[in-house]
């Protein structure tokens, strides 16, 4: 009898259903039951419907499927109401509709449990619910447990790494055994990191890799080490596999936080962002940089970054190695030649491993210095 708009009237009636007076509650319930399905559907779909009304519509045992669907799709419907609906509905199509909104499932994991406990749960609804639970809860819990244990052991840097790690690999999940092994090769804490070298747009280069990509990367690193160092031990191959099968974002973080052994592997990574992260590791030594500057299996981007570093560019062995490395970009070498010693210029001018352009410029500079 009240002169209220339909939406306001429904809100009042839903409130009165909870009244302590049984007669008032019963009368309000009867009035709600008399509402037309069309009006209830409009209310369930409206963006300004009160959450209490949406909760009522979602949890009624004799509601219309169309009304349930509308409440599921309405962002104002309270999560506990949808959890109750997910636990009791006999319609598997409604369960599948609920699982589409992954953000809501993450926000309210009780909905996931309600879906999985419902006998009407379809295979598709179960798959989505389990995937969400694994991705956002089980994995996070596993990472947190590893991080807590590492902190208890005093390995703060490793704990920080796993608190932010995705713990996925090209083949699936990172095993706990692999996680513990990798943790032993992390030595740089977050406080010592400077990630200003990596602009946000370059994160797009940290693409998802397939198992075949990861395997190719493993073979690349092993072959590179074999060429430069000789035989690669079984233990080393095992560590290479574990590291190179990590996803690219975690490898990039490991490159910035890892120890010398991890850096030696990741400097050969086929992803330039990952290999570049190695030379931005605050623990990397000048001796390591000198060795990297001579490597013919690293990316040209890494060699360019070394040449741009003022501290490293003051080291003659480093710039000499860069000048002799056929992988160093030609413009970079040309900028370095003026600082190369005359005898080394003469040798460079006869070095068939470098480009003709570099040899000619080295010859000109050597001749000019000799007064010829």
Residue 130 — very low, low, confident or very high, per pLDDT cuts 50/70/90?
A: confident
Higher pLDDT, 62 or 359: 359
- Band (pLDDT 50/70/90 cuts) for residue 2 is low
Spatial distance between the Cα atoms of 152 and 22, rounded to a whole number of angstroms:
57
pLDDT at 139 over 60: no
306/277 Cα distance (integer angstroms): 12
Let me know whether 221 and 329 are in one domain. no
Going 181 to 185 to 191 to 197, the CA torsion angle's sign is negative
Secondary element (H or E) of residue 169: strand 168-169
**72 pLDDT above the threshold of 90:** yes
Q: Domain check: are 216 and 241 in the same one?
A: yes
Is 151 contained in some domain? no
pLDDT at 46: 93
Whether residues 12 and 132 share a domain: the answer is yes
Same domain, 32 and 66: yes
**Chain centroid, CA 63 distance in Å:** 42
Classify residue 143: in a domain, yes or no: no
pLDDT at 230: 83
> Which pLDDT band, with edges at 50, 70 and 90, does 78 fall under?
very high
Which of 67, 66, 65 lies closest to 32, judged by CA? 67
For residues 342 and 49, give the distance between their C-alpha atoms in angstroms, rounded to a whole number.
83
Q: For the chain, what percent of residues have pLDDT higher than 90?
A: 66
**pLDDT tens digits for 224-235?**
999 888 888 999
Q: What is the mean pLDDT of residues 19-30?
A: 88
Q: Alpha-carbon distance 278 to 259, whole Å? A: 10
Is residue 168 assigned to a domain? yes
Is residue 207 scored above 70 in pLDDT? yes
pLDDT at 137: 65
247-286 confidence digits (pLDDT tens): 999 999 999 999 999 999 999 999 999 999 999 999 999 9
- Per the CB < 8 A criterion, the answer to whether 44 and 54 are in contact is yes
In a domain, 19, yes or no: yes
Residue 142's pLDDT is what? 66
User: Is the pLDDT at 143 greater than 70, yes or no?
Assistant: yes
Q: Greater confidence, 204 or 125?
A: 125
In a domain, 152, yes or no: no
Please say if the pLDDT value at position 123 is more than 80. Answer: yes
Q: Are residues 305 and 260 in the same domain?
A: no
The overall average pLDDT reported for the chain is 90
pTM above 0.75, yes or no: no
- Based on the domain organization, do 97 and 27 belong to the same domain? yes
| Residue 206: predicted pLDDT | 82
- Quick one: 43 and 72 in the same domain? yes
Of 226, 250, 284, the domain-final residue:
284
Domain C-terminal end among 225, 251, 284: 284
**Mean pLDDT of the region 16-26:** 88
**What pLDDT does residue 125 have?**
92
* 199, 118: one domain: no
Whether residue 188 sits in one domain with residue 228: yes
The last residue of a domain, from among 251, 284, 317: 284
Number of domains in the chain: 3
Q: What is the percent of the chain where pLDDT is above 70? A: 97
Q: Is the pLDDT of residue 33 over 90?
A: no
- If asked whether residues 88 and 183 sit together in one domain, one would say no
Q: Is residue 291 assigned to a domain?
A: no
What pLDDT was estimated at residue 74? Answer: 95
Question: Could you tell me the residue range of the domain that residue 309 belongs to?
Answer: 296-372
Model pLDDT, residue 138:
58
Domain co-membership, 260 together with 306: no
Pick from 267, 273, 276: nearest CA to 221: 267
The answer on 170 and 131 residing in a single domain is no
């Amino acid at each position: 009898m009240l002169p209220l708009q339909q939406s306001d009237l429904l809100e009042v009636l839903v409130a009165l259903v909870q009244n302590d007076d049984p007669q008032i509650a019963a009368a309000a319930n009867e009035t709600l039951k008399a509402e037309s399905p069309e009006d209830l559907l409009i209310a369930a779909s409206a963006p300004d419907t009160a959450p209490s009304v949406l909760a009522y519509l979602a949890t009624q045992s004799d509601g219309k499927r169309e009304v349930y669907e509308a409440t599921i799709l309405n962002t104002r419907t309270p999560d506990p109401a949808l959890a109750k609906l997910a636990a009791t509905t006999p319609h598997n199509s409604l369960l599948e509709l609920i699982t589409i909104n992954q953000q809501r499932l993450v926000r309210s994991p009780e909905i996931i449990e309600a879906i999985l406990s419902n006998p009407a749960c379809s295979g598709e609804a179960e798959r989505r619910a389990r995937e969400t639970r694994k991705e956002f809860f089980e994995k996070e819990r596993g990472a947190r447990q590893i991080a807590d244990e590492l902190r208890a052991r005093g390995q703060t840097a490793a704990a920080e790494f796993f608190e932010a790690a995705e713990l996925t690999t090209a083949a699936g999940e990172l095993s706990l055994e692999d996680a513990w092994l990798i943790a032993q090769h992390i030595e740089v804490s977050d406080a010592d990191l400077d990630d200003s070298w990596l602009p946000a747009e370059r994160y797009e280069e940290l693409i998802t890799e397939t198992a075949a990509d990861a395997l190719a990367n493993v073979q690349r690193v092993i072959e590179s080490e074999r060429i430069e160092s000789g035989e690669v031990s079984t233990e080393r191959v095992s560590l290479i596999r574990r590291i190179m099968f990590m996803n690219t974002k975690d490898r990039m973080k490991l490159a910035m936080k890892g120890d010398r052994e991890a850096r030696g592997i990741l400097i050969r990574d086929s992803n330039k962002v990952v290999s570049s992260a190695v030379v931005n590791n605050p623990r990397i030594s000048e001796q390591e940089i000198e060795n990297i500057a001579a490597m013919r299996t690293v990316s040209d981007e890494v060699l360019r970054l070394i040449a741009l570093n003022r501290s490293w560019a003051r080291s003659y062995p480093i710039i000499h190695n860069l000048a002799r490395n056929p992988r160093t970009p030609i413009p970079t070498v040309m900028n370095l030649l003026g600082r190369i010693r005359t005898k080394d210029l003469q040798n460079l001018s006869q070095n068939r491993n470098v480009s003709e352009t570099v040899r000619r410029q080295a010859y000109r500079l050597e001749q000019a210095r000799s007064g010829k």
